Structure 1
Amino acid sequence: MATRLLFLDDSGKPAANDGTMAVVIGGFSIASEDVPVLSRRIVGAKARFYPNRGNPTDWEVKSTDAISPNAWRRRKNRDFIDELTRILERLSCTSYTAGIRKANMLHPMTLKTTVPLQLQALVEHFAVECKTQQATGIVVSDWSNHQLDEHASRCVASYAASYRLNIHPGVYYASSHTAQAIQAADLIAGIRRRVLEGDQRLAAVGRRLSSLSAVADGSAHRTHAWRTYTNQIVLF
């Protein structure tokens, strides 16, 4: 079978004293054989739009540097995001996000509770794409800390096994500093979080990213839980 990778990163924290108003895990799926092409094209885009930052493999583009209110005023950042979206589109990627609006939380939550919920929701819908593509799914996330990563991976493994989803049992982790795909996932998660928070400046690019899908007629598909397939999930 073919293999599709789902690259993920997070944006925002659930703690009440954190300034963000939403918590998002987001990224994109891609055929495994296209990952080297993706990486080369992102490196090329970084070199083109940020020529003064040196070797593009030596630094990572971060959402805080590219899409924060002040950064978004700079043309090179908007052009880079536009080019990144084109790269993902041409490689038949699907954007995925799972968001939580903190105002809708019924009780205080921590990353230990939000991350598994978000990952399980993403896997539920990613599994539909894998089925339509006759592919095995692999989840790759930016690492955070050992205990949280291990906990999240166990939750995904248990979930995938319980429902016999064609997904590798667990989560693989990579460094955003060296993995261009994780850097792209960070931007997708950051844009989606700000859109959920009401940032109208990013609404258009948010809609464009959310339209990226390798699943034809997605609304006609159902997950194993009989929910309508979507690549933009809002848990609450």
Structure 2
Amino acid sequence: MSNTRKRVAEDAAPSKKKHKKRKANFQENDALDAELGINTLFGRMDSQLLADHLAQKLTRFGSDLSPVEISDLTISANSIQDTTSWQEPRTLDKLPDFLEKFSEDPESLVKAPKKHGSPHTLIVAGAGLRAADIVRAVRKFQGKDNLVTKLFAKHMKIEEQVKLLKGKKTGIGVGTPARLIELIENGALSLDNLQRLVVDASHIDQKKRGVMDMKDTMMPLARFLSRKEFTQRYVDEAKPVALLFY
């Protein structure tokens, strides 16, 4: 190849990369429904695509981590339940229906395990305000002996949450990764009866950012989802935990 042709080829390569990047950004931006406040891509991603998406975000935001550390935070495709059969918009008002659809026994959602502070469902959000909205959305499952519990920093001190979990039965807990980790590690939040982890993935804020679009929310989420208590059970047939992205 002549020097001139070689230079032309080299100049064209970055251009192709930029074109691909622009195309990817366009496709992602096109999926953002500002009116509904959701990223519609999550409704079209199967388990493998979700795993790839998580891996891309880890690579982007975990640039200060070693390959081994990144590997430890990676979630495999077979750990994620495919929810592409859900055809409704992944908006807050549809969340209860989504939970019922992907529960083997929908009626069990209104019941709490006998053990205090041991929910069957944990819903993970990126921020306290959003978690508070989710609590209100799933309150239809709450009953006299079945609390929908606020497990995030806003509104409640951790001491209050510890007391609540130790003294009450709860079927559904809604929280942020950091506070959930703290409650697990201090023993107040039991995972013995956990059946499903639901990530509030589709929601976008006014700046069109979701929980995986910011380092401050993506990395705590990755550390939470990749805890051994969960990863061992994502693929455990005897006592599984379903990992769902809403």
Q: Same fold (TM over 0.5)?
A: no
What TM-score do the two structures reach when normalised by structure 2? 0.33
What TM-score do the two structures reach when normalised by structure 1? 0.34
Of Structure 1 and Structure 2, the greater strand share is in 1
